[in-house]
Structure 1
């Protein structure tokens, strides 16, 4: 049954739903009434158009019309609430969709004089076109000074020490301003040294020498040198999450011939090692502060790095503020005097904060929010989709006693699900349906992967019936989501489809956003709404999928779905050892096909992120790296950008 069939009988008039929704969200948007959260869906409320768009809505001089500039380029408290099948998702979806549109208009939306321009193939799985990312226009001269407040989607529920953070997108958006990484993604789809002067392998990629950039100081005046690299990478190797990433590292030591160089040895060839130095494992913190915070745990929330901004204040779930690092090594950055990050989990509230002037800039992957921002003539919008994540339902595929160990039943869930209906209904029709983990700008993308792209309830029922015939007894499954209405409605639609396919009971477990990642890492789930797998090289997925990253339920692991597939392991190991681009491309495509065949996950959509800001805020843009290459737009982690090149008119 398609989603529109579920919606058809339950379509009240728009005005009534808008009024009801206003009553429900009331005080949250200044209208009175009870507070109800409607937040960014983790599953498929994203957008992939193989481009990003910078919509500059500053009024053109003398015309009174908005000017558009378009560019193309190719997320533990175990407490939860369980909801068995009771309510009809069709009615909930209809009410939610119509009322979201009504509340958006009521909170400041209006007619737009601008016209949205898009380019590229309109097919949902067409390869992306590629064009230069935005740079500071020649006529725009950045003005130093000023302050910016940014609304982010969540806070981080862990210390701000690199080896201990449970870092999702909002976490990286914040902390990359305090810490620099040893390497950065560049616009060529590869890596460039950043805080490191160089990363040099031996002939067989079993050893890497990392040389510190000379003259760099941490915020507490500790020198950045080979010893600092050793201290950080040693801690990362033993870290909660970073340890899984650096599992194959055997030793980290100072080069006897050069105190500015650290030598890293690995147990088997790792040609893609620098990609691991672009993220959390590559964040460099002051060794002095790290040792002091070992003795005084209160210091763990006051990070010290080499980055463009210096820690000022952190209040959990309220604010993280930082001021300009006047001695930053990479001049002329940063431009701003200070920046403040405020977590606002609800996507509509985040957008309302911008419209009301409470914040200056925000990020969002919510389709409705992005759709509304495209019509907004008073603010700016930048859409980022290159090398982005996939929104999907993560499956725990090796849990003892779980029906999801059976491939046919996993595929039955895929056949029963109407992803296109979810995208069109909840996501404002702006998303592009995913057929695998790799979006069109990533190595490994395929137009056809073998994954079911169209709902086929008859096929789903057939597969479920066959499973039940071979496995007598009650067939039950649990689906985890966050505590917000939009995610819940998505889950309730899945609940009804899977029940219709033949499952005897589908329960919904709502988990607090702050504990969501921890729950996944502990493996305490069956189906989990999720967003992941952005990046440049297949090796960046190694720890998510390799069996070496799988642990028993209750132990922390980055292979959340506990996949144990020898064929997949072999492909990942081959890719890790290879430096041949053609070979790596073929390997990544083989991995994509394997996921399509095995139904290890239920793919939803390829994420797009909107960066929305006041017209007086300029950026984000790419900038030149020390080796002369340009950075990758979007900073290599979906939903993030480099705040050091933001500047404001003042």
Structure 2
């Protein structure tokens, strides 16, 4: 459910309102409504400082980038994708005007918008889009796409068949292919000059997006200025974006980001920590700030086991940890109950969601039995090292898990790492278990790359033929009801094998000064915008009261 806590300022209505608006996926009661009309008439001009979780040290050479949520949010200011999700989660054409399959879903025709220009003044053409797609699938000279070459492994050919038409053929039927033209906001279309830049592709950013890069000072700020030639308009025909400038600032080293927002050092911030949510909601209830939050279409926070080595190549070890962690207590203590305990990888609003997936329940006696079984079989005490983020919140969370596991005799040591180093260790397989967050909602075929046994980004490194079979079946199946059953079975399989310990679905929030509006962005060809926040949000519709 999408929750809004809004203070409507004098320029809009002159009164403070507390509003909860129903959003994608799950129903619920609402205390009113808060659509774009409630926020008043957008005003052009002005600037905002946007606090985001982290820095993106590797930059934005998109086919090669390893972007977390903060990097994706910046990318959505600079680049456009061919498709974007609408309110329902269904994909809508964006840079494309249509993406159409043949009868067997193995040939796709992509029609592009006419008159769109990149920031360097060059035209969006089928040839540039073809080159981008080739770069993402590892078939473009000079670009190396480690992750995305597997994401697009099912693509057979990409051809520019006329100046504004790209034709893609796939190796097998692929009904959900349009979702991969967004893929969590990662598949932005770069200008040809950036694509071919051998030395500065990560810094010399050229997109078609609503803002263009002005400067990037690592670990300081990323400043984006208005793209005056942006192609998108609002419902009244006004050219977007409204803002003149956005400055993105990493909150990693901010000792108190909520206080920074309250004191006006940020105009808005994107966060998912339970402590922050509790505090910003209290401030919103007092009428100090606005908060937009949801756990629909959310990513999931979890403990991911490395099953390629001891101890978690052993089923008893996985079950012991799974049943020794009191997930209800974890959520209560770490989020004040604001983030729901996850039953599996698919959050409410997503295909495959199950209220009860059969995940092993918290049970100390059974956990102790699995510890004993592991120690009998291996002759070793059950212990491991937990890799986690270096921020205080992650440390506190893992200290809580550490104390819970100690109750059944499991020795868990803690290893903190900054985000870049943590990702590198996970990619290299240099961990026993890791405190992790991934799998934002949307079409579950988007998880194919993360979960198939032979995928280089199956970071848990499990070998599970049942999961492989279900992933392949879900990818090829066009019937919605059958796909739902397939992904529900996949959800249950994860629970049966205890491949991960699902802790909670992340409740993402954008908190802002009362003068900031238009967070979800404008309608897309008459369709209301997507309400999930786990993959960022558009910034073209942001505006501030002058």
CA distance in structure 2 between the aligned counterparts of 1:360 and 1:163, rounded to whole angstroms: 31
Deviations 1:280-318 (A, max 9, x none): 553100012321x21xx2353121000011110011111
C-alpha spacing 1:216/1:65, structure 2 compared with 1 (3 Å)? closer
Shift of 1:264: 1.7
CA distance in structure 2 between the aligned counterparts of 1:369 and 1:348, rounded to whole angstroms: 12
Q: Select the residue among 466, 487, 499 that pairs with 1:600.
A: 499
Counterparts of 1:479-518 in structure 2, within 5 Å, are 479-503=386-410, 505-518=411-424
Q: Is the 8 A contact 1:232 1:285 kept in 2?
A: yes
Q: 1:205 — aligned with what?
A: 105
SS across alignment from 1:520: helix
TM superposition score normalised by structure 2:
0.92
Deviations 1:570-601 (A, max 9, x none): 11111111121101111111111111111110
Q: 1:471 — aligned with what?
A: 378
CA distance in structure 1 between the aligned counterparts of 2:133 and 2:276, rounded to whole angstroms: 39
C-alpha spacing 1:129/1:520, structure 2 compared with 1 (3 Å)? farther
SS across alignment from 2:97: strand
C-alpha spacing 1:510/1:644, structure 2 compared with 1 (3 Å)? same
Q: 1:103 — aligned with what?
A: none
C-alpha spacing 1:232/1:502, structure 2 compared with 1 (3 Å)? same
CA distance in structure 2 between the aligned counterparts of 1:282 and 1:475, rounded to whole angstroms: 42
SS across alignment from 2:200: helix
Shift of 1:411: 1.4
Q: Select the residue among 443, 455, 461 that pairs with 1:537.
A: 443
C-alpha spacing 1:523/1:429, structure 2 compared with 1 (3 Å)? same
C-alpha spacing 1:481/1:499, structure 2 compared with 1 (3 Å)? same
Residue 284 (str. 1) matches residue 220 (str. 2): no
Q: Which has more radius of gyration?
A: 1
Q: Select the residue among 154, 158, 178 that pairs with 2:58.
A: 158
Q: Is the 8 A contact 2:338 2:507 kept in 1?
A: no
CA distance in structure 2 between the aligned counterparts of 1:567 and 1:188, rounded to whole angstroms: 30
TM superposition score normalised by structure 1:
0.78
Q: Select the residue among 134, 137, 140 that pairs with 1:234.
A: 134
Deviations 1:95-116 (A, max 9, x none): xxxxxxxxxxxxxxxxxxxxxx
Deviations 1:326-381 (A, max 9, x none): 11111231110111100012576221211121110001101121111112121111
CA distance in structure 2 between the aligned counterparts of 1:157 and 1:350, rounded to whole angstroms: 20
Q: Is the 8 A contact 2:61 2:201 kept in 1?
A: no
Q: Is the 8 A contact 1:58 1:378 kept in 2?
A: no
Q: Select the residue among 47, 50, 53 that pairs with 2:3.
A: 53
CA distance in structure 2 between the aligned counterparts of 1:130 and 1:572, rounded to whole angstroms: 35
Gap runs ≥5 in structure 1: 1-50, 75-125, 550-556
CA distance in structure 2 between the aligned counterparts of 1:127 and 1:404, rounded to whole angstroms: 35
Q: Select the residue among 477, 480, 483 that pairs with 1:578.
A: 477
Gap runs ≥5 in structure 2: 139-144, 234-238
CA distance in structure 2 between the aligned counterparts of 1:129 and 1:427, rounded to whole angstroms: 21
CA distance in structure 1 between the aligned counterparts of 2:56 and 2:292, rounded to whole angstroms: 25
Residue 338 (str. 1) matches residue 245 (str. 2): yes
Q: Is the 8 A contact 2:72 2:186 kept in 1?
A: no
Residue-pair matches, total: 530
C-alpha spacing 1:440/1:288, structure 2 compared with 1 (3 Å)? same
Q: 2:355 — aligned with what?
A: 447
Q: Is the 8 A contact 2:212 2:227 kept in 1?
A: yes
Shift of 1:219: 0.7
Residue 369 (str. 1) matches residue 276 (str. 2): yes
Moved more, 511-520 or 565-574: 511-520
CA distance in structure 1 between the aligned counterparts of 2:311 and 2:333, rounded to whole angstroms: 30
Counterparts of 1:80-229 in structure 2, within 5 Å, are 128-129=27-28, 134-137=34-37, 140-229=40-129
Q: 1:274 — aligned with what?
A: 178
Moved more, 338-347 or 411-420: 338-347
Q: Select the residue among 57, 67, 71 that pairs with 2:17.
A: 67
Moved more, 419-428 or 640-649: 419-428
C-alpha spacing 1:623/1:462, structure 2 compared with 1 (3 Å)? same
Q: Select the residue among 367, 390, 414 that pairs with 2:300.
A: 390
Q: Select the residue among 515, 531, 534 that pairs with 1:633.
A: 531
Deviations 1:488-527 (A, max 9, x none): 1221222233233233x32211111232222222222121
C-alpha spacing 1:127/1:67, structure 2 compared with 1 (3 Å)? closer
C-alpha spacing 1:524/1:539, structure 2 compared with 1 (3 Å)? same
Q: Select the residue among 220, 225, 247 that pairs with 2:153.
A: 247
Shift of 1:640: 1.3
Deviations 1:83-134 (A, max 9, x none): xxxxxxxxxxxxxxxxxxxxxxxxxxxxxxxxxxxxxxxxxxx955498985
CA distance in structure 1 between the aligned counterparts of 2:116 and 2:294, rounded to whole angstroms: 31
CA distance in structure 2 between the aligned counterparts of 1:348 and 1:645, rounded to whole angstroms: 30
